[in-house]
Structure 1
Amino acid sequence: MPEVTTHTRTVPLGETVLELSWAASTEVGRRREVNQDAVLADYPLFVVADGMGGHLGGEIASASTVERLRAVVATGPVSTKNIEKALSRAVKDIVAHPETTDEGTGTTLTGVYLETQTDEPHWVTLNIGDSRVYLLRDGEIVQVTTDHSVVQELIAAGRLSPEEAENHPYGNVITRAVGPSDSVKPDYLRLDVLDGDRFVICSDGLTKELTDFGIRHFLEANANPAAAVEAMMAAALENGGRDNISIVVLDVIRRSA
């Protein structure tokens, strides 16, 4: 497992200062031959993409999506409008690539970015598919995003319990993706910027192997983002590593300037 590094950024916010620290890692896992996940962790945008599709299709879809978003970070600003433009470009890249002939080719996309263009800064989560954003706040961990999956729709309709969902045969079937046949508009949610928050952004390769309680445990046991990522990755691999695994941990400190 490659070494994971913690990165930092200080962001002035009027009368307060935001101190961000984060770390990211992606692994092929123990059962897959190719890593179809892609990660972008570059202030102010932190995302994970989990590709799907035969041959190299999924790898190309996730990489194209992340590269288009990387360009948004480089040129700015990161906004819902510019994210959706980037995703439209990524879909064109996917369609045009000779290796992405499978109709099922596409990628999930989930993450969070810091919006500072408004009077009061806030976090914005974005989500397409079943990768997830978690938030640890005041000792409680919450899944912020809602999965776009067959299983989640069954849970929402009251036809399936969360316990039954864990081993459901349609557990890997998602209902939305960044791909040729799907809308590229993510779900968004705005969150307050609070001192002490910790975000986990991950592909389902992590949540197949660790419960929400397990994720909280490793966050609480590891104050440093890189250590938390390494501990969760090691546990996910030890528990089977059935899929590609991608993890970003983002820590927030907000103090007076």
Structure 2
Amino acid sequence: MALSAESPETPLESYVDYGYGTHVGLRRQLNEDSYVVTDSLFAVADGMGGHEAGEVASSLAVQALAEGWESHGGIVTEVEIQDFLDEADRRIREATDSKAGTTLSGAVVVRTENQLQWLVFNIGDSRTYLLHDGAFIRLTRDHSQVQELVDSGMITAEEVHTHPNRNVITRALGAGDSWDADFSTATVQPGQRLLVCSDGLTGELTDEQIGKILNAGRNAQETVDWLIHQALRAGGRDNVTVVVVDVKDTPEDD
């Protein structure tokens, strides 16, 4: 499911460009990913549960997030984002009888002390990255069994792609006992490129491969299309969803 909306103030529409896309992949019957793209909120959800329940979970997650963002006029804080996610968790459990869940990752632009910042949030193993001055920076940490194994030194980052438990997550909306998001911030600057994606991309391509594509000079939509194409060429084992946001300029302070 895709959602798009506009803030009453549309604070970013004149100085960002973005592209987005999703594909069911080459081995799945149903696309359980959903995403939301607005002028200052960008997020991807990857549902799980099968029999269309995963699609319901991810759809409800982005709906609750977008509705909360819109009800606050696009001006939100970490507290409000978590409130929206709490509401998403409640809706998913009610609709699926707690038999489905979803990851969610993304970023919203907030203003702090006359400065624009990315407020990044994450639950599960969908990811948000930032390309800044040519450096490709991962802004989120996966909530997954394989991430815990990497952190403990039991496996390498390269072994994640082939580990039998690579799809087992430890935190999700609508399922389990923990759905609190991790939050971080990064200053919004001209020339940056934000990437939000489901693990259908990162499960097929390494960070190095993704970073090269982001640095190749294509515009936002062309970059999205090429990332999805490469994920399919690499196997397309899962649904793949990609959002790319380019910061063209920053507005003068009001």
Q: Please confirm whether the aligned pair reaches a TM-score higher than 0.5, indicating the same fold.
A: yes
**Larger mean Cα displacement after TM superposition, 225-234 or 161-170:** 161-170
In structure 2, stretches of 5+ residues that fail to align are 1-5
Among 206, 209, 218, the alignment partner of 2:204 is 209
**CA distance in structure 1 between the partners assigned to 2:198 and 2:122 by the alignment:** 11
Residue 120 (structure 1) shift: 2.2
1:126 lines up with 2:121 in the alignment: yes
Residue 91 (structure 1) shift: 1.8
**CA distance in structure 2 between the partners assigned to 1:123 and 1:80 by the alignment:** 11
Match of 1:252 in 2: 247
Judge conservation of contact 1:39–1:66 (CA < 8 Å) in 2. Answer: yes
Judge conservation of contact 1:18–1:252 (CA < 8 Å) in 2. Answer: no
1:218 lines up with 2:213 in the alignment: yes
Match of 2:63 in 1: 67
**CA distance in structure 2 between the partners assigned to 1:256 and 1:34 by the alignment:** 41
Secondary structure, in 3 states, of the residue corresponding to 1:246?
strand
**CA distance in structure 2 between the partners assigned to 1:167 and 1:43 by the alignment:** 37
Secondary structure, in 3 states, of the residue corresponding to 1:33?
coil
Match of 1:81 in 2: 79
Among 15, 19, 24, the alignment partner of 2:15 is 19
Judge conservation of contact 1:57–1:102 (CA < 8 Å) in 2. Answer: no
1:49 lines up with 2:54 in the alignment: no
Among 154, 157, 165, the alignment partner of 1:170 is 165
**Larger mean Cα displacement after TM superposition, 24-33 or 114-123:** 114-123
1:128-179 Cα distance to aligned partner (Å, 9 max, x none):
0001111111111121101111111111111111122221111100110011
Q: Cα distance 1:160–1:11, how it changes in 2: closer, same or farther (>3 A)? A: same
Judge conservation of contact 1:53–1:102 (CA < 8 Å) in 2. Answer: no
Judge conservation of contact 2:15–2:251 (CA < 8 Å) in 1. Answer: no
**CA distance in structure 2 between the partners assigned to 1:234 and 1:113 by the alignment:** 27
Q: Cα distance 1:256–1:175, how it changes in 2: closer, same or farther (>3 A)? A: closer
**CA distance in structure 1 between the partners assigned to 2:21 and 2:141 by the alignment:** 23
Q: Cα distance 1:169–1:20, how it changes in 2: closer, same or farther (>3 A)? A: same
Judge conservation of contact 1:135–1:200 (CA < 8 Å) in 2. Answer: yes
Among 180, 184, 198, the alignment partner of 2:193 is 198
What is the TM-score when the length of structure 2 is the normalising length? 0.89
Match of 2:25 in 1: 29
Match of 1:147 in 2: 142
Match of 1:3 in 2: none
Query: Letter of the aligned partner of 2:202 in structure 1?
Result: T
Judge conservation of contact 1:136–1:142 (CA < 8 Å) in 2. Answer: yes
Secondary structure, in 3 states, of the residue corresponding to 2:178?
coil
Query: Letter of the aligned partner of 2:237 in structure 1?
Result: R
**CA distance in structure 1 between the partners assigned to 2:11 and 2:66 by the alignment:** 20
Query: Letter of the aligned partner of 1:43 in structure 2?
Result: D
**Larger mean Cα displacement after TM superposition, 154-163 or 74-83:** 74-83
**CA distance in structure 2 between the partners assigned to 1:18 and 1:121 by the alignment:** 14
Match of 2:54 in 1: 58
Judge conservation of contact 2:92–2:98 (CA < 8 Å) in 1. Answer: no
**CA distance in structure 1 between the partners assigned to 2:204 and 2:153 by the alignment:** 25
What is the TM-score when the length of structure 1 is the normalising length? 0.88
**CA distance in structure 2 between the partners assigned to 1:180 and 1:95 by the alignment:** 7
Q: Cα distance 1:120–1:242, how it changes in 2: closer, same or farther (>3 A)? A: same
Residue 117 (structure 1) shift: 5.2
**CA distance in structure 2 between the partners assigned to 1:57 and 1:10 by the alignment:** 33
**CA distance in structure 2 between the partners assigned to 1:64 and 1:74 by the alignment:** 15
**CA distance in structure 2 between the partners assigned to 1:43 and 1:220 by the alignment:** 23
**CA distance in structure 2 between the partners assigned to 1:117 and 1:137 by the alignment:** 20
**CA distance in structure 2 between the partners assigned to 1:47 and 1:63 by the alignment:** 11
Count residues with an aligned counterpart: 243
Q: Percent identity?
A: 41
